[in-house]
């Protein structure tokens, strides 16, 4: 397989059939699909979907049990099909893995061709998820945040937190980054801050009340309760709430959602999976219908920021079609067809 100049060679997976699938690991995905290219690919594909709702296949969540297994360990399966072909992501989430020096999320994505639906490419699922989530957040931020936003606060210190710092830097003039970890002595937070500082970023540790001075807030946690007091958020701030993807998870409070311009991937997906949304509806902070705008409304320009003082929130649970869009973009850049 010949590759465009400057792009990485793609490792081959084990041969389990008549032909081995090319495999993009975490180290190969980012050079193949830089964050700016990923944002543009999502913008183009989602703009093309402006005349009809996004198709949302149900996410299958399979609990995992056994000796030494955390009660919230699980396997997720996310299939999608569209003009880009078809694809499916299978990942495991092991809550104790960070303590084992293992990734929290592990798995694989399989991309199938546009015609005939033959397997074409495998991608490291955690790397694809990290890139996809951050790129979607950046796309919405590009449309909704104030263009002069420079102060970023990130809750969490894992792969998604790091990816969101890079994504926000790609679309905004970020000058300071505050990392709010679950513990002030978090080894992961110290490591992330040190890595950012080594790259020349003005990065520091902070507490939840850092949102008082934030222009943009990204919540990248697995919390089951709000991670900050929404009443502290400064006027004109934008929030990307991306960590809570199950009904029993929650990162932002209902009072914030009620006073913000709220955007979700799709209302269908939010009602099925977004604990933040479900809790806000249950407590009558949000109505049961028409509670939010959808991602395509923002990408197509139907929904915009009204003023510099308006607070905007993107509550994401992640859509399988977003993974498919980026997997196809990677395959196209690598000349795989």
β pairing state of 238-241 and 11-12: unpaired
Q: Read off the pLDDT of each residue in 47-54 and give the average, rounded to a whole number.
A: 69
Q: Read off the pLDDT of each residue in 13-24 and give the average, rounded to a whole number.
A: 64
Residue 144: pLDDT band (50, 70, 90) is very high
Q: What is the DSSP letter of 2?
A: -
Residue among 321, 315, 323, 312 nearest 143 (CA): 312
Region(s) of the chain under CATH 3.30.1780.10: 11-128+322-333
Residue among 246, 303, 299 nearest 277 (CA): 246
Question: How far apart, in whole angstroms, are the C-alpha atoms of residue 273 and residue 65?
Answer: 22
Region(s) of the chain under CATH 3.40.50.720: 137-318
Residue 55: pLDDT band (50, 70, 90) is low
* pLDDT given for residue 309 in this prediction: 97
* pLDDT given for residue 57 in this prediction: 75
> 38, 326 in Cβ contact below 8 A?
yes
Q: What is the DSSP letter of 212?
A: G
Q: Does domain 137-318 have CATH number 3.40.50.720?
A: yes
The position carrying tokens 């465009």 is 4
Q: Read off the pLDDT of each residue in 185-192 and give the average, rounded to a whole number.
A: 91
β pairing state of 261-264 and 176-180: unpaired
Torsion of CA 319, 42, 50, 300, to 10 degrees: 120
* pLDDT given for residue 3 in this prediction: 43
Question: How far apart, in whole angstroms, are the C-alpha atoms of residue 299 and residue 309?
Answer: 21
* pLDDT given for residue 15 in this prediction: 44
Q: How many residues does the chain have?
A: 337
> CATH classification of 11-128+322-333, choosing from 3.30.465.10, 3.90.110.10, 3.30.70.1450, 3.30.1780.10?
3.30.1780.10
Decide if pLDDT at 237 tops 50: yes
Question: Which two tokens mark 260?
Answer: 């913000």
Output the 3-class SS for 165-207. Answer: HHHHHHHCCCCEEEEECCCCCCHHHHHHHHHHHHCCCEEEECC
**Cβ neighbour number for residue 65 with a 10 Å cutoff:** 9
Residue among 337, 256, 328 nearest 86 (CA): 328
Of the chain, the percentage scoring pLDDT greater than 90 comes to 78
Of the chain, the percentage scoring pLDDT greater than 70 comes to 92
Decide if pLDDT at 16 tops 70: no
């Amino acid at each position: 397989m010949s590759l465009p100049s400057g792009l990485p060679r793609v490792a081959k997976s084990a041969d389990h059939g008549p032909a081995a699938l090319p495999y993009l690991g975490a180290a190969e995905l980012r050079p193949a699909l830089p964050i700016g290219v990923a944002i543009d690919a999502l913008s183009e594909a989602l703009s093309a979907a402006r005349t009809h709702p996004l198709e949302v296949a149900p996410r299958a969540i399979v609990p995992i049990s056994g000796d030494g297994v955390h009660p919230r360990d699980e396997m997720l399966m996310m299939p999608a099909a569209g003009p880009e072909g078809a694809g499916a992501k299978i990942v495991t989430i092991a809550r104790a893995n960070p303590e084992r020096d293992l990734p929290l999320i592990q798995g694989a994505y399989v991309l199938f061709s546009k015609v005939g639906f033959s397997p074409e490419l495998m991608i490291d699922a955690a790397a694809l998820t990290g890139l996809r989530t951050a790129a979607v957040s950046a796309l919405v931020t590009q449309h909704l945040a104030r263009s002069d936003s420079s102060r970023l606060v990130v809750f969490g210190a894992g792969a998604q937190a790091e990816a969101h710092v890079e994504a926000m830097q790609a679309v905004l003039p970020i000058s300071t980054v505050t990392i709010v970890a679950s513990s002030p002595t978090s080894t992961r937070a110290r490591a992330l801050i040190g890595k950012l500082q080594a790259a020349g970023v003005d990065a520091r540790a902070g507490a939840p009340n850092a949102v008082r001075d934030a222009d943009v807030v990204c919540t990248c946690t697995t919390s089951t309760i709000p991670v900050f007091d929404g009443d502290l958020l400064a006027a004109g701030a934008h929030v990307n709430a991306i960590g809570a993807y199950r009904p029993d998870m929650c990162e932002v409070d209902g009072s914030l959602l009620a006073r913000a311009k709220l955007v979700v991937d799709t209302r269908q997906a939010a009602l099925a999976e977004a604990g933040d949304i479900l809790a806000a509806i249950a407590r009558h902070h949000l109505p049961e219908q028409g509670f939010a705008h959808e991602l395509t409304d923002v990408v197509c320009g139907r929904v915009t920021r009204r003023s510099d003082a308006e607070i905007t929130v993107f509550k994401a649970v992640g859509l399988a079609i977003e993974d498919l869009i980026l997997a196809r973009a990677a395959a196209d850049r690598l000349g795989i067809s």
